A and B are shown apart, each in its own frame.
Chain A
């Protein structure tokens, strides 16, 4: 079955610097890759997603890149701010088919003032 590995497990960056979180997946049939953000004490929420027919997607300070050949995808946060501190989860799925979404183990991002 599908397996999603996420690194690093914790990440601390200076405010204003960039943060990068990486994930790899095992099932080449996966075609949908979302990223969720979970702030302390709150529920996970989708922040950005990418499908296998594109290599990069941006939304303001957040971008996601996908390398289908290598089966890995990454989240990039630029000009980090204190409110970016949270746990980030990557995930992979086969889209609309009746197969479940698989989450990575999460990355705890801390932004140093």
Chain B
């Protein structure tokens, strides 16, 4: 079946512009995560959705960052007034969040590579 998809795969934008990143999780997966990964660095947690609600937004770096998830499926991450330090790969992951039989496995999307000039 289809895995996690993200769009766009690459985005180049000018400083100050808004960008919207999209994540399509695996069908039926209730948990959805957004991470940011700078070159050669680890996975920086941004936000976690369980269904449509976000129990944990603690990783969002500033109020310029927001995310939503509708219908328990697609999620969008919006960055307003982008800054050069926002340049990174933004990864989305989903899981069934069900114990056993690999239900907790996180499946990552290919990421969106964002470059802010």
Contact = CB atoms under 8 A, between A and B. Distances in A.
A36 interface: yes
Interface in B3-40: 31, 33, 40
Q: How large is the interface on A (under 10, 10 to 19, 20 to 34, 35 or more residues)?
A: 20 to 34
A95 B109 contact: no
B109 A43 contact: yes
Given A44-B108, A96-B98, A106 B42 contact: yes
Interface residues of B, number: 25
A45 B110 CA distance: 11
A101 B42 contact: no
Given A43-B109, A43-B110, A43-B111, A95 B104 contact: yes
A34 B33 contact: no
Nearest to B99: A96
A49 B48 contact: no
Contacts of A98: 50, 55, 97
A96 B103 contact: yes
Interface string B61-97: 0000000000000000000000000000001010101
A101 B33 contact: yes
A44 B97 contact: no
A35 B114 CA distance: 26
Most buried by B among A36, A87, A98, A102: A98
A96 B104 contact: yes
A93 interface: yes
Nearest to A43: B108
Interface of B: 31, 33, 40-43, 45, 48, 50, 55-56, 91, 93, 95, 97-99, 103-106, 108-111
Interface of A: 32, 34, 36, 43-46, 49, 87, 89, 91, 93, 95-96, 98-106, 108
11 contacts: A32-B99, A34-B106, A36-B106, A43-B110, A45-B108, A46-B105, A46-B106, A96-B103, A100-B33, A100-B55, A103-B45
